Amino acid sequence: MSSRITCEVREGSPVTVVRLDGTLDLGTMRAVHRALDACLTAQPDALVVDLGGVAVRDRLALSVFAAAARRAEEWPAVPVVLCAPPPPAARWLAESTTCRVVPVRRDCDEATRAARAAVAPRLGARLEPVAEACRRARELVRDACARWNLPEVAGPASVVLSELVANVVRHAGTPMQVTLTLRPPYLHLAVVDGCRRSVQARAPQPRAEGGRGLLLVRELAQRWGSAPVGDGKAVWAMLPVN
């Protein structure tokens, strides 16, 4: 008989809670991964995963939570907190690397408080795929860096976000959601568009606005990458702030 697991999502402001019920093993961890991925795609401010109703049959399946937290760290730059693991799972989590990546709390209330305390400042805008979007992106960076007292990163962040936006204007041609999130030691920049086509850093191409392509993003950012989001994708970059 195959194992089963259900994922109940409770969306709240600012924390989304996912309640898991059933058996977590190597067969059901994919369903958990898909559920957590869908929650992160909605870009909550924080994510709590409630393990109170889970029977963990394979300790290796717990790695799904570390994988989700690592993805969330890059994009959408939100904290992930686990809570209420049953005793065997709590012991396995304590013995694994997962706890180094994802904090574990005793119950959902405690986890929600911890998640709220870890919510990062965020600033965003919806932009149309027009040349002026690059200028608006640079203005958004200047505004964010002024609010968060990050004068030293304003210049490189403006270049990076402008390049990400220009890439959407040039290749995707869809409206986009631009987001800046401050989670020290990084400033996270992300652009979500409506095109699933992947992005690559290629040789610079001259153009009227923007500049030198994604090669420049690679040079200026500590890390950058992309992830599928619905019918489109998110392209993100992380710049050190200290």
What is the C-alpha separation between 22 and 24, in angstroms, rounded?
A: 7
126 and 113 part of one domain? no
**Residue in 129, 117, 131, 239 with CA at minimum distance from that of residue 194:** 129
107 and 136 part of one domain? no
Query: Residues 135-146: pLDDT tens digits?
Result: 999 999 999 999
What is the C-alpha separation between 168 and 175, in angstroms, rounded?
A: 8
Which of 117, 141, 176 is where one domain is finished? 117
Which of 49, 82, 117 is where one domain is finished? 117
pLDDT for 208: 39
CATH number of the domain that 191 lies in? Answer: 3.30.565.10
236 and 126 part of one domain? yes
pLDDT (mean) for 87-105:
90
- Retrieve residue 103's tokens: 């904090």
pLDDT for 221: 96
136 and 205 part of one domain? yes
pLDDT for 110: 97
Which of 83, 117, 151 is where one domain is finished? 117
149 and 165 part of one domain? yes
63 and 129 part of one domain? no
Q: By residue range, what is the domain housing residue 236?
A: 122-240
101 and 133 part of one domain? no
- Retrieve residue 139's tokens: 């203005």
What's the domain count of the chain? 2
CATH number of the domain that 80 lies in? Answer: 3.30.750.24
96 and 148 part of one domain? no
What is the C-alpha separation between 168 and 53, in angstroms, rounded?
A: 42
Residue 132 CB-half CA count within 13 A: 3
Query: Residues 168-198: pLDDT tens digits?
Result: 999 999 999 999 999 999 999 999 999 988 7
Q: Is the peptide bond before 103 cis (omega within 30 degrees of 0)?
A: no
pTM: 0.89
> What is the 8-class DSSP label of residue 180?
E
